[in-house]
Amino acid sequence: MKLASHPTTLACLLLLGVSCFAAPAGAQLTDLGAQVLTECAAPGDCLANEFFGDDLAVCDFDDDGFADLAVGVAEETVGPNDNAGSLHIFYGSTVGLSSAGEQVFDLDDLDLSGGADVGDRLGSALVAGDFDRDGFCDLAAGAPGKSVGAPGNHAGAVVILFGSASGLTGNGFRFLSQNHLPPGSSESAEENDEFGAALAVLPNGGLAIGVPREDFFEPSAGLVHLLSTSEPGSALDSVTDREQNDFLDVCADGNESEDLWGSTLVVGRFGASPSLVVAGALEDHSGFSNAGRVTVIGAPDDCFDQNTSGIADAAEADDLFGEELAAGDFDGDGFDDLAIGVAGEDTASTGGDTNGGAVHVLFGSSGGLTTSGDLFFDQFLFPLNPVPGDRNDHFGDVLASGDFDGDGFDDLAIGVPDEDVDAIASAGTVHVSYGGDPVFSEDENQTFHSDFPAGMPDSPNPNDAFGQALAAGDFDGNGTDDLAIGMPGEDLGTQGQAGAVTVLYGLDGSNGGFGTAHFNSATASFPEDPGTRIVVILRDGSAVLSASVEHSRTGGSATPGVDFNYTPGISSWAVGDLGFEIFGIQILGDTLDENSETIVLHLSNPSPGLGLGSPSTLTFAIQDDDEGGVVQFQVTGLAVNESSATATAVVVRNGGAASGVTVQYATSNGSAVAGEDFVAETGTLSFGAGVSSQQIQIALLDDPTDEPAESFTLTLSNATGGANLGAQTTMSIGIVDDDPAGQIFLDGFESGDTSRWSSTVG
């Protein structure tokens, strides 16, 4: 094995066992708030050997802005039917995924499918996309063991559940098999085809369905059906079949026995337009059995294996190149890149571990995927790297991409479900490598297993298979992807291998938290008169964790104990609690003629998982009212009848009564217009010594027209004599029509030839 484009890594590998990893920097996946999901509402609900979490898919099925999680339970017993399979749906929210509102579907719920049977294995493959193009995400679930046409033939089927504002629904579901395809395919259901063993979402509501054991010229050569949706509401109304013989111009060999072509599928925009990548991990070529190969369909057609020029390794028997695939823009150039799992690779960097496993990454470009700069690495690049000689880990057996640190670059999660944790066989591990510039920098890599880091909610056990399935999505709505990890071998109580899913949450890349705490404004201003003023701190974003933040005074010109009293403190929120917390500042007031003074407050020390939002500093101004006082309207709104001669606005002065002050005023048009509904006024209002209230009179113009209510605005400005303007410097004055009833006017609601008003002048 050769590691390309990683000189630092090569230096570390020469040390064999010396750590070359710094602590992860910035926002990343974290063990904070990690949770475990099961299918058990109560401990007694779990059953052994159901392998909950064997497959996962993510989408926002109810379009509420939070990603939701579908869990396949292919070995679920339904009624008397072993391995019939089921689907469990968990919905996202500000607290992340929750069992509240969990949905469960099986083939007994979907009558047109013929009901659940032994060996259906519903949930063996899952993928989510908008297949009817109605704006809601839908779920396609493979049941590759479903019998179609003849009892016990296990030809395979796919069920599609459609999304809605209330989530997925079984109403109007779609049942697909090779006997239930739209026009365009010549294939029909045959024994053990495994139709639906792999699925991928195509652009514009399309669906790719792998049939890896289809006998196409050769036994189990494999086939892929490409279904498309022509227009909204039509949901998969045409199909095209593709096989390896279609690509002999770019890919040698064609259909061969036991290729299982179509066992793994992924779609990405690797060039100018999207492409489908189809893997045949059991492909024999170059004299090696099961060496593996991948075929790219579209933009342009292409073919890659480990003997392709520029690939950073060579083909060997049982490498399983293409065992798993994932697409993501890891380098941020606008083109997706392709991660290819080589689960059977014998890894030289760890002492020749048999089946240690490795991953290739091919980068996208304007011309499509290229071997230039091919990255090739194994799990020795990650924390908790394996002991040399540790065999059969199958690193790269499971892959998923998502932006786990919120930096705009896709990241790669790698499942190693067969990894031994210390002496615990096949407990499983997940590694995460972060995209960016440079791509997959070693000092940012992370490793997780059931009790590492320390906040993980479980402990490793034999055959847990932690990492057997991976799926990424923003379950808590904080703008950063989270990671769902299937561990289908998890024992629950006395029920062996009942299965579970661990969920890791990603910190927001902008603030290092799930949600944020901040003041509701950066500035506030109040008169000096004595009393308590309220300060508001808001928590928004995700509420996966309970949270707290400290508030304290960090400066300002006002003097504690003389101008104000304030006690530093801590504001806190419970899990799921979003909203505001308040505290008070007591303004003392004095009789000194002085400038306005300030109190500067600051938020600090947020609890783990809580970020500081903006503003985190509040400048609180105390307006001095001892020279001229504070001048403002008594109220901000007034309504008067049109027949009144005048509208009277009251202006008040708080404090500063010993001096004389002035303030200017002016009217401005609204729906009421000066000269038609009122007389425009501008002027200066004077407050003599000891005067705290004055009036402004605005003349109104009455007319006989029956009309809706109208309004205009009166504004204060330019206070003099040491006075300050208060918060209420504008007033809206409404003029209510009070002409005799029975007249007709048009108000814009009429339609056709008939007014909605039927009265006439009497």
Q: What is the pLDDT of residues 182-223, one digit of tens each?
A: 888 888 899 999 999 999 999 999 999 999 999 988 999 999
Strand order in the sheet with 469-473: 29-37, 500-506, 482-487, 469-473
More confident residue, 343 or 512: 343
pLDDT at 590: 66
Whether the per-residue pLDDT at 21 is higher than 50: the answer is no
Q: Can you say how many angstroms the Cα of residue 250 is from the centroid of all Cα atoms in its chain?
A: 38
- Amino acid at position 183, single letter: P
pLDDT at residue 17, rounded to an integer: 28
Is 20's pLDDT higher than 50? Answer: no
Rounded (10°) CA dihedral 330, 374, 420, 326:
50
Residues above pLDDT 70, as percent of the chain: 89
Least confident of 180-189, 194-203, 265-274, 583-592: 583-592
- For position 387, which CATH number holds? 2.130.10.130
Q: Are residues 70 and 174 in the same domain?
A: yes
First to last CA, the chain: 100
pLDDT value for 43: 56
**Least confident range of 6-10, 63-67, 140-144:** 6-10
**Ordered DSSP codes for 365-429:** -TTS-EEEEEEEE-GGGSTTPPPTT-----BTSEEEEE-SSSSSS-EEEEEETT--BTTBTT--E
Asked whether residue 614 falls in the same domain as residue 640, the answer is no
Q: 686 and 603 in one domain?
A: no
Q: 588 with 708, same domain? A: no
Specify if 170 maps to a domain: yes
**Residue 29 token pair:** 């996946």
Those residues with Cβ within 8 angstroms of residue 75's Cβ, 6 or more apart along the chain or in another chain: 49, 50, 51, 54, 82, 83, 85, 121
* 355 part of a folded domain: yes
Dihedrals phi, psi of 540, to nearest 5 degrees: -140, 175
Is residue 682 a part of any domain in this protein? Answer: yes
> For residue 58, what pLDDT is reported?
97
Residue for token pair 């901040």 = 518
Lowest average pLDDT, out of 233-237, 352-356, 500-504, goes to 352-356
| Residue 29 domain flag | yes
Q: Is 483 in the same domain as 345?
A: yes
Dihedral through CA 143, CA 149, CA 155, CA 157, nearest 10? -30
Quick check: is 512 in a domain? no
Domain match, 189 and 288 both: no
pLDDT at 524: 87
Top pLDDT among 230 and 214 is at: 214
- Do 192 and 316 belong together in one domain? no
Q: Give the pLDDT score at 60.
A: 97
Domain for residue 439, yes or no?
Answer: yes
- Residues 127 and 203 placed together within one structural domain of the fold: yes
- The pLDDT confidence band at residue 754, using thresholds 50, 70 and 90, is very low
pLDDT at 348: 61
pTM > 0.85: yes or no: no
In b/e form, how buried is each residue of 71-100, taking b as 16+ CB within 10 angstroms? Answer: bbbbbbbbeebebbbbbbbbbbbbbbbbee
Q: Please tell me the least confidently modeled range out of 324-333, 483-492, 525-534.
A: 525-534
Banded model confidence at residue 354, pLDDT cuts 50, 70, 90: confident
- Distance CA(272)–CA(266), nearest Å, equals 17
Q: What domain range is 58 assigned to?
A: 54-242
4 plus 106 within the same structural domain: no
Q: Which residue has the tokens 């705290």?
A: 692
323 to 199, 293, 381, 637: CA distances (angstroms) = 14, 9, 20, 71
Tell me, yes or no, whether 759 lies in a domain. no
pLDDT in tens, 90-143: 999 999 999 888 999 999 887 556 789 999 999 999 999 999 999 999 999 999
Average pLDDT, the chain: 87
Amino acid symbol at 347: T
Which segments within 74-193 are labelled E, that is strand?
Answer: 86-91, 98-106, 125-129, 138-143, 157-162, 169-176
Domain count, the chain: 4
Percent of the chain with pLDDT over 90: 68
CB 678 within 8 A of CB 624: no
674 band by pLDDT with thresholds 50, 70 and 90: very high
Half-sphere exposure of 301 (CA within 13 A, CB side): 11
| CB-CB neighbours of 521 under 10 Å | 12
Report the alpha-carbon distance of residue 253 to residue 219 in Å, rounded: 15
Final residue of a structural domain among 210, 226, 242: 242
| Whether residue 69 sits in one domain with residue 175 | yes
Confidence of residue 13 (pLDDT cuts 50, 70, 90): very low
Question: What average pLDDT score do residues 267-279 get?
Answer: 95
In a domain, 283, yes or no: yes
| Domain match, 176 and 105 both | yes
- pLDDT tens-digit profile of 34-50? 999 998 876 557 789 99
Q: Are residues 610 and 653 in the same domain?
A: no
Q: Higher model confidence: residue 736 or residue 43?
A: 736
Please identify, among 573, 590, 623, the residue that sits at the C-terminal boundary of a domain: 623
pLDDT at 342 over 90: yes
Task: Give the domain CATH number at 644.
Answer: 2.60.40.2030
Task: Mark which of 623, 639, 655 sits at the end of a domain.
Answer: 623
